[in-house]
A and B are shown apart, each in its own frame.
Chain A
Amino acid sequence: MRTKASSEATKDIPMTVDALAAIERAGFSRRRFLKGSGALIVGFSVSQLVGDLGIAPSSVAAQRLDGASSDWLDAWIAVAEDGHVTAYTGKCEFGQGIYTAQTQLIAEELAVPFDRITLIQCDTARCPDQGTTSGSQSHPTNFNQGSLALAAATARERLLGMASVRLRVPVAQLIASEGVISVQGDPSTTVAYGALIGGREFRMRLSGAAMRKRPREWTVLGTSVPRVDIPALATGHFEYVHNLRVPDMLHGRVVRPPAVGATLRSVDESSVREMPGFVKVVVKQDFVGVVAEKPWQAVRAARQLKVAWSPGTGLPAHSSFYEYLRNQKPTRDTLLVDSKDVDEKFAQAAHTVTATYYHPYQMHGSIGSSCAVAHVNGDQATVWSASQAAYAQKTTVAALLGLPRENVRIIYTMGSGCYGINGADAVTYDAALLSQGVGRPVRVQLSRQDEMAWENYGVPFVIDQRIAIDANGDIIAWDYESWSAELGGRPGNPNPMNPASVVTGMLAGFEPPAFVPRSPAPDPTGSFQNRRNDVPSYLAGCIGGNCGGTGTIKSERLLSHIGRSLFWTGPLRSPNRLQNTFAHECIMDEAAALAKADPLEYRLRHLADRRLMGVLNAAAKAANWDARPSPGPNRSRTGIVSGRGIACVLYEGDNGYGAMVAEVDVDQGTGQVVVKRLVIGQDCGPVSNPDGIRNQAEGGALQGMSRALMEEVTWDDEKITSIDWQTYNSLSLGSSMPTIETVLINQTEGKAMGAGEVSITLSAAAIGNAIFDATGARIRRVPFTPDRVKEALAGA
């Protein structure tokens, strides 16, 4: 967390004599020992450690995503003489509550008071490289037997060992609590952590054998500790990256091309040279920006600057975009599962359900346009960025600026909620380029239009599916084929040196990652994975005889085609998973209706995974589910009608179970859908902070509802036309709101899973199914605008 007082990050940190000696001892020529928070701590990147020491990057700290993490206890935790604990994490706060949850984790495992812990987040000079903070991976990474959790447990065991020597009492007779170790039955014999290790390094690796506390022993984790940052947020005292001001700082504003594919012809600096506060126009290939003394001066100069651009490359019509998407060539094709008997089963089917579902480009649409501050001083760069990818940015910013990687420091500083790749990565590069151009610190905040027109959108989908049903009404085969489109994405993915995964990198002259076509798709091999939730929950997911799916249906074929997108794309909360789940869970409802089965019972009939059944049953029970086939009986063809729908998912195939019941009213005259109630069942393993998960589940459900009902990116023949809140819709605080109930299944013996993207994955499906239940009209295209609902009603 950053509040106004914490300007520590900007100070030059001197090396102590001890630190220099430690460097000498360890032989880490490039490592910096830093003095912070009263404790001597180590800040280094693990890629350096791997190079310097030859340590295998993940022998203990297993990582599923990207970052190499750290095997070294002092990279994670430092204890000061006064007992204050400073912890370092590569998973940072974006408004999802992970600062508080990680502080709870350390308090619990290290047995120190919650308020005696300071967490330093995602500063590439000080924190372990844990890749990106994304993909619902913070809990799986830092709360299971590895990384931060293991560091805290290792430190506690080490302190117990030290206390045992100091007190001459066996470890088994010692108790660690509140930062003090005492002797069982002799409470007067104690030693505090600060007295044991204060100000010194542990100098040891994480211990894979360190004993974690069992959830049933938890006193801090598992409780609804209030978020530590909310008082500062609610009183306007929190310092976002937008509020950061560093000495000698200037302000920049970028000038983006007027059309997709337009390139720069000329810039006339004389058109702004006389403006108040004007400093410089910075141009690099097609990148154009203006730097001025004050923000408003930069805004005005950017508006007035005369820039000539080539025409854009032109865009296909928005109205027929899905035909374009389906027919795009070339594509990269993947066959996720193929039992090779699907056509045969369809030939034997008593009934077949066939449907196509459509999902548009949608945007992150952060409430605050993105902002960053950069100081490029000769061959050194310090960048304050709200990106989810601080560590990757260290490399891409270096490539962008032509600097050695070790000369770049990214200090994560919170921006407004991002939900994936909003403009934060692009504006980080904007600030870096402008600062390099003027040799002084530059702050850049994007305009609303530049934020919305050039961010990395959530990908569009066309999804064709067929379901074969036998004479008993059971599903015997499922056939899926999808078309989506991508361009760019996370910084450094797939090429760590390429900043052109977002717009600024391309404008500055870098080529976007090459599109690698692959057609036809090779046969599936290896173990079953469902990272994008391409595979419906009801399929067995069998490859080479090994089945990893959550369902029972063994005749299965799933083929995806990814083409090159017209616009920048990237992860948007529940990327691909939401789009796929919308299609799966709605066509499952179509099959249930054809079989005249209750949608819940029909789902349970085709599932094999008990935890997925558990969340379905929990949500249905809490919603007082009315068991019967859809659509509802005796429904009126006019006026307002009500219905309920259900949906479920195992997020990413292994990272969080969720189910949702939606209740809606549909005005058949206007096509208006009003969601009255959302009931969520969620099982993400042991619950770290119940209220924190509820906050995420509620927000996700409503964000999913906004996306389902009203969000769609639009364009004309040359440019994006969704450029503000009048041209891109969002549920306001004044909108009709459902009541939301969240049932948490606290699976204390399970592994920690992701929690922030489960509910959003389900909203469109549950609401679409509820509309069908209310009206008998199936709506297969997001968003469910009144016109589309009326169209569906007319066809029902």
Chain B
Amino acid sequence: MSLIELNVNGRRHTVDVDPGTPLLHVLSDDLGLTGPKFGCGLSQCGSCTVIAGDRAIRSCVTSAESVGDVEITTLEGLGTPENPHPIQQAFIDEQAAQCGFCLSGVILTSKAFLDRTPTATETEIKQALGGVLCRCFTHTRMLRAIRRYAEQVSA
């Protein structure tokens, strides 16, 4: 076990982890966060996505020790049910969820990409979402919600 420090959702945490523990496990099990989910553990679906600095990363294959000082933002770090972030509000307005398990991947991948690339085209947005899955296939609503947010960041 070794002590590491993490900056998550604006707070500093010290956790004692086994070497090689994926960031996802630290977020879920040591910090009790509910946003990032274990979907595949293979970086293939997106459910575990968090934003590190300004990039969406897959926390299931990211070693917690490798994160360092970078600020980590999880889905619940963006907003609350009472005060959602604009991209979360777009998903609520479009009713763009069924089971919702995939939403860390869908929302955070889109947000990180659009915040960096506010004038992204539809094709570029689709490319950014190429490795993100939703098995309820709420795709069309999600893409509408993402478009709403894209209009806000490009305005």
Q: Check B40 against A448 for contact (C-beta < 8 Å).
A: yes
Minimum C-beta distance from A693 to chain B (A): 12
B94-135 contacts to A (CB < 8 Å): 95-104, 106-107, 126-135
In the complex, per-residue mask of B46-89: 1 if CB is within 8 Å of any chain A CB, else 0: 01000000000000000000000000001111111110110010
Residue contact A703 to B137, C-beta cutoff 8 Å: yes
CA of A414 to CA of B37 in the docked complex: distance in angstroms? 14
A706 with B130: CB separation less than 8 A? no
Segment touching B, from A237-245, A349-357, A375-383, A399-407: A237-245
- Residue among B34, B79, B99 with the highest chain A CB neighbour number at 10 A: B99
With known contacts A231-B84, A703-B137, A732-B132, A242–B76 Cβ distance under 8 A: no
Which of A150-158, A289-297, A613-621, A640-648 lies at the interface with chain B? A289-297
- Size of A's binding interface in residues, CB under 8 A: 68
A residues within 8 A CB of B25?
Answer: 294-296
- Contacting residues, chain B, for A243 (C-beta < 8 A): 28, 34
Known contacts: A230-B91, A733-B129. The answer to whether A416 contacts B99 by CB under 8 A is yes
Whether B18 lies near A238 (C-beta < 8 A) is no
Number of A-B contacts (CB under 8 A): 204
* Interchain CB contact under 8 A, A234 and B88: yes
Given contacts A234-B103, A236-B35, contact A296 B18 (CB under 8 A): yes
| Minimal beta-carbon separation of B25 from chain A (angstroms) | 5
Question: Is residue B21 contacting chain A, with contact meaning CB distance below 8 A?
Answer: yes
The A contact surface, by secondary structure, is loop
Chain A residues with Cβ below 8 Å from B131 are 732, 734
Residue of B with least CB distance to A243: B34
Whether A276 pairs with B38 at a CB distance below 8 angstroms is no
Our pick among A4, A276, A735 for the contact of B34 (Cβ within 8 Å) is A4
Q: Do B38 and A242 have beta carbons less than 8 Å apart?
A: yes
Q: A369-B38, A733-B143, A734-B128 are in contact. Are A237 and B22 (CB under 8 A)?
A: no
Contact across chains for A237 and B76 when beta carbons are under 8 A apart: yes
Contacting pair B40 A369 (CB below 8 A): yes
Whole-angstrom distance between the Cβ of B59 and the nearest chain A Cβ: 12
Segment from A45-53, A188-196, A543-551, A694-702 that makes contact with B: A694-702
- Least Cβ distance of A735 to chain B in Å? 8
CB proximity of B36 to chain A, nearest CB, Å: 8
User: Does chain A have a CB within 8 A of B154?
Assistant: no
Closest A residue to B101 by CB, please name it.
A416
For B101, give its contact among A367, A706, A737 (CB under 8 Å): A367
Judging by beta carbons under 8 Å apart, are A230 and B99 in contact? no
Contact assessment for B138 and A698 in the assembled complex, using a CB-CB cutoff below 8 Å: yes
Q: Which residues of A contact B127 (CB under 8 A)?
A: 734
CA distance A175 to B47 in the complex (A): 49
CA of A364 to CA of B136 in the docked complex: distance in angstroms? 10
Give chain B nearest CB distance to A416 CB in angstroms. 4
B-chain residues with CB within 8 Å of residue A695 when the two chains form the complex = 95, 98, 138, 141
Residues in A with CB closer than 8 Å to B39 are: 367-369, 416, 448
Residues of A within 8 A of B (CB): 3-4, 94-97, 226-227, 229-240, 242-243, 245, 251, 276-277, 294-297, 300, 364-369, 414-417, 419, 445, 447-448, 691, 695-696, 698-703, 705-706, 724-726, 730-735, 737, 739-740
A-B contact pairs, 15 of them (CB 8 A): A233-B100, A234-B100, A236-B76, A276-B1, A276-B18, A296-B22, A296-B29, A448-B41, A695-B138, A695-B141, A725-B40, A730-B135, A732-B129, A733-B132, A734-B127
Give chain B's interface residues, CB within 8 Å of chain A. Answer: 1, 18, 21-22, 25, 28-29, 32-42, 44-45, 47, 74-82, 84-85, 88, 91-92, 95-104, 106-107, 126-143
